[in-house]
Chains A and B, each alone.
Chain A
Amino acid sequence: MTKIGLEVHCQLTKLESKLFCKCKTNYRTLPPNSNICTICTGLPGSLPMLNRKAVEKATMISLALNCKIPEKISFFRKNYFYPDLPKNFQITQYNAYGPTSIGSDGKIGIEGKEIRIRRIQLEEDPGRLIYEGSSEKTMVTLVDYNRAGTPLVEIVTEPDFETPKQVRIFLNVLADLVENIGISDPYLEGALRVDANISMGEGNRVEIKNVGSFRDVEKALHFEITRQTSLIERNIPVQAETRHWDDARRITVSSRSKEEEQDYRYLPEADIPIIVMNRDSIEYMKKQMPESIVARRERYIQKYDISPQVADVLSSDRFYSDLFEKSHNEKNAKEVANIITTDLMGFADTREKKMELKITAQHVSDLANSIVNNKLTRNSAKIALQEMVKDGKPLADVVAKLDLGHVSDMSSIEKIIDEVFQDELQAVSEAKQNPDTINYLVGKVMRKTKGKADPTVTLDIIRKKLSTQE
């Protein structure tokens, strides 16, 4: 059995300032080493000043992932030497001597599967190393401390994922969640970074690091599964090791480092006093929390009888979920969900494409009502949608322009059916013997009407005619 666990680092990009000083979190556009101070470069004598808003944001993500929030939180130092770490220790949180990190024991459901969250910790991002050429061959390494001290939450899951696809869905849900509760913009470069660990059967655990974009995690895991499967088939034991994702070659490469053996000599951070978590403000935050994806999904299934699959897809995409909220009513909800998940999502699957969409809630609502009221066939609706997405004109204009109006009056449909029956004598007699072939005739009618005939009405009339004809 394949077991995958994740360590997700999410920068709190929606905060103004760093975790322990007043430098900006928005370092991305600044010249190297211009967003630094005595604190984030760890000058002798400097002390960390905790950004209380970061604690608030970290509490929100912990609540959103159904974590327990302890009575008191505290910080620890993780000691190791690395050139991107100005103090040669990272201020982070640590639960080995009792739960003192901002969140622990959480869970979130994806596609009906529960992923347990082991812990969430608040910590500082190190600086950035810039290599001349590749990291292996470089002679010169440059250090940019602009990022050093940016607030991060590290979200550690239990090894509950069984497939790379589940990982992808989880990451999409998570990215959407952090954006939705206003703690981070996950689409900024480096704002959401993921390390994965994976073991297969009784094999050793392999860590995958350095995956540049969280969208590549699925690919890295697929590669790793293939690699490990082939080792296992040849009876070669899988090494417990850390592997880095090589973005250019799309493979994982052994990092040959001894990270496993590293002893971080954790030590309580005495410069930041223990923080008592105020229960009242936590309760208040809970109430302010936007409806979680999981809760939305449940509501879709319970209230509108939307299928679990559709509810999953819809609830986990904030953009389309919001569109649904604005365009549906009791009567057309299911149809709106269908339009969005089967047609609209196909047109616009990326963030950029979503932004370009000309479609409004009014469009979707009109479209769904037309289908519910038998004014448009699903097929015509899809064509109309395609048009509206591009130019944003009202549905009525599009229907008129493309002549999509429903043909549902009996006499015109009957006339067309008669024509089809005359052309398709062979098919008609077959349909009399075998009702399963009846759809062929329906298809012919639809083609003649360019999809405008109501398929239900058409089918009814064909059935009647077949049974009355000898």
Chain B
Amino acid sequence: MNLGISAKEFISQVREGSLSVEEFVAKTLDRINQVEGKVHAFITVDKNAIDKAKELDKKIKSKEKVGKCFGLPISVKDNICTAGIRTTCASKMLENFVPPYDATVISKLKSEDAIIIGKVNLDEFAMGSTTEHSYFGPSKNPWNPEYVPGGSSGGSGVSVSALECIVSLGSDTGGSVRSPASFCSVVGLKPTYGLVSRYGLVSYANSIEQIGPIARRVEDIAFILNIIAGKDEHDNTTLDNKNEDYLTGLDSGISGRRIGVISQMIAEGIDDDVFSATNNAIEKLQSLGAECIPVSLDAVEYSVAAYYTIAAAEASSNLARYDNLRYGFDFGLEGYEFNAYVSKVRSNFGQEVTRRMLLGAFVLSAGYYGKYYLKAQKARSMIKSQIDKAFKQVDLLISPTMPILPFKIGEKINDPLKLYLSDINTITANLSGIPAISVPFAFSKSGLPIGIQLLANSLEEKKLLQAAYALQSITRLPEISI
């Protein structure tokens, strides 16, 4: 049995009876057992998955109505609430938190008969780009376990690329879906802000983050997006996408599309292999009939500073609720006065989370709000207006997803500033709310994955996915060897 099939292949095989869900799920659980020691993608594996698979097989056999997913095994980043399955955010603070409710994306997928196979690793509260900042230990890159898998949705990227599931849900605040997609050689989409409900996504920086799918194939991304996108009565910030079908016309090609090459993202500091891969991608897209022209977005210069200011500010407020009084981890109240207890329990946040909460509290404090937070918001509107202007000339934008190759675990953990700077290409989409996708495109001479990022205007996911699909169709990549 091939665990590397696409969602589309899985569904058609199950539907026509050549594949049983139980068999596939059992095989997937075996695979997880076999590779977890090397890659550590999962925080919690849901043992009930096999029972759900059996139920579905029965339904399929007796020709009962079955949802669109037909038992598709999905892994879910552990900051998305799943009723009855603990949701830890890779933090000691939520070590024992079992949500009483499903996130909207989860209930939508469940109602289409997807099977949640488990909850996957992340940087604590999604703060990081390597998955090293997990309370449960780092995830490892399946292409070379000495290397980081990217992050913060590292567990999602790893579980998909290591064939531990077919698709995964991650969340992307500053590149957290696209970075692991790029480093693990899989596809990752950050949708338009508001396209996918955030209800049940544990907030880190709520004005910029989105849940996004990770898969091995662009068509699987479109398939999942069809299920999870759209207005939600539980999230005031969701948009009406008029039930757009992202699958139809996916293979329309990109002939005649104008693609802007963001000059600031193919510049100083970029890895040589990434540089040449990007140029190669541009040439290939041109050979498919796209017109590529250089586009300058000079406000990108401020994006990293603006992002970390805004995200930290929101984090300091969003994470204030973790006082361990109503849920959390095992730590008695006895003998503590309220403030003493709260500071005591809150010392259990990891270093990176603490750093960002302190930074956030600082930029919001009286006298600094104007100096930092408001300035960051100004930079954000500047970026947004340059993006708007760019999309008057072009249909899509292109850049490498990450300016650098995956690096060794532990190599940059003590240099947060350098790490923050590697988010420069992904952050723009979050600050301006537009969709962006990372498509696996090449490998470096050292055998590490390189992803290409495409960006489109707000709510133009269809155009974006068509371009990604075109790029995928002319790319041949090796199979995972572990």
Contact = CB atoms under 8 A, between A and B. Distances in A.
A363 interface: no
A45 interface: yes
A50 B342 CA distance: 29
Contact of A45 (B103, B323, B338, B365): B103
Nearest to B87: A44
Nearest to B80: A45
Given A81-B323, A88-B323, A273-B237, A45 B202 contact: yes
A47 B365 contact: no
A214 interface: no
A38 B321 contact: no
B100 A47 contact: no
Contact of A263 (B87, B207, B366): B366
Given A44-B87, A47-B199, A267 B236 contact: no
| A interface secondary structure, majority | loop
Contact of B202 (A44, A77, A268, A270): A44
Contact of B200 (A45, A97, A270): A45
B295 to A, nearest CB: 28
A265 B99 contact: no
Contacts of A87: 320-321
Given A44-B99, A45-B80, A86-B326, A270 B237 contact: yes
Given A81-B320, A270-B207, A49 B89 contact: no
A381 to B, nearest CB: 61
Contacts of B364: 79, 265-267
B314 A265 contact: no
The list of the 9 closest CB pairs from A to B, nearest first, reads A270-B207, A88-B320, A265-B364, A45-B200, A45-B81, A44-B202, A87-B321, A45-B202, A263-B366
Contacts of A263: 365-366
Contacts of B94: 44
Contacts of A38: 100-101
B385 to A, nearest CB: 18
Contact of A43 (B100, B235, B339, B369): B100
A48 interface: yes
Nearest to A143: B325
Contacts of A225: none
Nearest to A44: B202
A271 B237 contact: yes
A42 B103 CA distance: 14
B185 to A, nearest CB: 30
Contacts of A77: 317
Interface residues of A, number: 32
Nearest to B103: A45
Interface in B52-98: 80-81, 87, 89, 94, 97
Given A49-B233, A49-B234, A272-B236, A44 B314 contact: no
A53 to B, nearest CB: 15
7 contacts: A47-B199, A82-B338, A88-B320, A266-B364, A267-B317, A267-B373, A270-B206
Interface residues of B, number: 43
A336 B420 CA distance: 78
Contacts of B342: 81
A430 B314 CA distance: 89
B321 A44 contact: yes
B119 interface: no
A267 to B, nearest CB: 5
B313 interface: yes
A86 B314 contact: no
Nearest to A268: B207
A83 interface: yes
Contacts of B203: 44-45, 271
Contact of A271 (B101, B206, B320, B338): B206
B339 A81 contact: yes
A59 interface: no
A261 to B, nearest CB: 10
B316 interface: yes
A267 B87 contact: no
Contacts of A89: 317, 320-321
A365 interface: no
Contacts of A266: 364, 369
B234 A88 contact: no
Contacts of A46: 199-200
Nearest to A261: B366
Contacts of B327: 43-44
A41 interface: yes
Contacts of B235: 47, 271
Interface in B311-359: 313-314, 316-317, 320-321, 323, 325-327, 338-339, 342
Contacts of B201: 45
B373 to A, nearest CB: 8
A48 B236 contact: yes
Nearest to B313: A267
Contacts of B321: 42, 44, 86-89
